[in-house]
Amino acid sequence: MQNSSKSNCINMDISNCNKSSYGKHENANDIVSLVNDLLTKAVECSASDVHFEPTGAELAIKFRLDGVLSTIEKLPGTISDNVIARLKVLGGLLTYRNDIPQEGRIEITKNQGAKIMDQRLAVFPTIHGQRAVVRLFYNNAELMELDQLGFSKPLYTGLKNITAKNQGVLLLTGPAGSGKSTTLAALLRHILRQDPQVLMIGEIRDAETAKIAIEAGLTGHLLMSTMHSGSPAGALLRLLEMGIEPYQVTSSISAVLNQRLVRKLCRKCMQKVESTNSFKATGCDDCFNTGYKGRVLIAEMVQLDSQLRKAILAKADLDELENILKDRGHTTMLFDGKRLVNDGITTAEELNMVCGVLQDDSSAD
């Protein structure tokens, strides 16, 4: 959920990745400089991930900018092993083990400044050699307040009401990279000002963790956690699949918040389409010819009412739960995103790409 700032980044057209001048880096000193340079440029671009992908003849360097992975360099395959070895040294990994996956952390350098708070490294073998991914975590002080995350007013008010109850379980769902951890941190910061008894579980991944979360919600504590799920109804059913009894779900879960991040139009190159009174992405050097710069939140929230509880107790399937939500006029994530399209913050194409799997018949004109 980071608002990327790439104005100081190198000007490179990510749609045209020609052979890089880095091909001359073949000795040990040059490899050190090369890796340091790539990581520094990734921070300058506010990239969330740096991928080092061997393809045989080349080593592709990819930055994830605003959630989209784009190739920015192609290095000669002859230096691939040396680059990965240097990353292993930085991450404190075993340089002589090329046959197993390894994970570590890279120390933050002075060149990266206070912008970065953590760098995580993962290395694993492939048929073309070792592949590495460096994930960058930024200090985004402006995203620590709940009212700065971009929730719509009704959803923001609903979240505050739920956290004020000081009991029950609030689940945050969405795929990896959808901003769940940022929302969770902002919620925790908001709640702790009220001095409640609040618990937090980073992620519910298995039956044991799910049982702990549900039991905490049943004993008068407010508990917040995240879960990978495509929809609020899907999250509720996943708890049942983990072995949680229906009556435990209905008694403990207060609400499920489902969220995504959509890319924002680049303010320097966005163009208005007069025929539809909307805006389109064009592309410029400032946004690397993508037409987008930064990301913004879209979300939907389901609070359990008597009708939903009865359906869960009756072991209703996903379609039945979705129909109940539709009948009661549930505001879907796609509908929430349309306010951003109308305000010229993003495009309908971007919104459909992020929420294309969802049906939004309730918002049809």
CATH of the domain at 129: 3.30.450.90
> With a threshold of 0.85, does the pTM exceed it?
no
The answer to whether residue 15 is domain-embedded is no
Residues 124 and 215 in one domain: no
Question: Is the CB of residue 43 less than 8 Å from the CB of residue 27?
Answer: no
pLDDT of residue 214: 94
pLDDT of residue 364: 40
Residues 130 and 156 in one domain: no
Q: Cα(208)–Cα(220) distance, rounded to whole angstroms?
A: 20
Q: Cα(358)–Cα(259) distance, rounded to whole angstroms?
A: 12
Residue among 157, 154, 175 nearest 358 (CA) = 175
Residues 160 and 239 in one domain: yes
Residues 74 and 149 in one domain: no
Residues 243 and 178 in one domain: yes
Residues 119 and 166 in one domain: no
Residues 48 and 157 in one domain: no
Residues 124 and 153 in one domain: no
Residues 128 and 173 in one domain: no
Output the CA–CA distances (angstroms, integers) from residue 149 to 145, 156, 173, 194, 341, in the order listed: 7, 9, 16, 20, 17
The answer to whether residue 122 is domain-embedded is yes
Residues 132 and 224 in one domain: no
The side-by-side arrangement of strands in the sheet containing 49-54 is: 68-76, 58-65, 49-54, 129-138, 116-126, 102-105
Structural domain total, the chain:
2
Note down pLDDT in tens along the chain; length 365 residues.
Answer: 544 444 444 444 444 433 444 544 455 569 999 999 999 899 888 899 999 999 989 999 999 999 889 898 999 999 999 999 999 999 999 999 999 999 999 988 776 667 888 899 999 999 999 999 999 988 876 667 888 899 999 999 999 999 888 789 999 999 888 989 889 988 988 887 766 678 899 899 999 999 999 998 898 889 999 998 889 999 999 999 999 999 999 999 999 999 999 999 999 999 998 888 889 999 988 888 889 999 999 999 999 999 999 999 999 999 999 999 999 999 999 999 999 999 999 999 999 999 874 444 444 44
Which of 137, 172, 192 terminates a domain? The answer is 137
Q: Which domain holds residue 102?
A: 21-137
Which of 82, 103, 137 terminates a domain? The answer is 137
Question: Is the CB of residue 350 less than 8 Å from the CB of residue 338?
Answer: no
The answer to whether residue 251 is domain-embedded is yes
Residues 70 and 173 in one domain: no
Residues 244 and 167 in one domain: yes
The answer to whether residue 5 is domain-embedded is no
CATH of the domain at 162: 3.40.50.300
pLDDT of residue 113: 63
Which residue type is seen at 227? Answer: M
Question: Is the CB of residue 301 less than 8 Å from the CB of residue 256?
Answer: yes
Which of 137, 152, 186 terminates a domain? The answer is 137
358 Cβ contact partners less than 8 Å away, ≥ 6 residues apart? 231, 332, 333, 334
The answer to whether residue 156 is domain-embedded is yes
The answer to whether residue 283 is domain-embedded is yes
The answer to whether residue 170 is domain-embedded is yes
Question: Is the CB of residue 231 less than 8 Å from the CB of residue 322?
Answer: yes
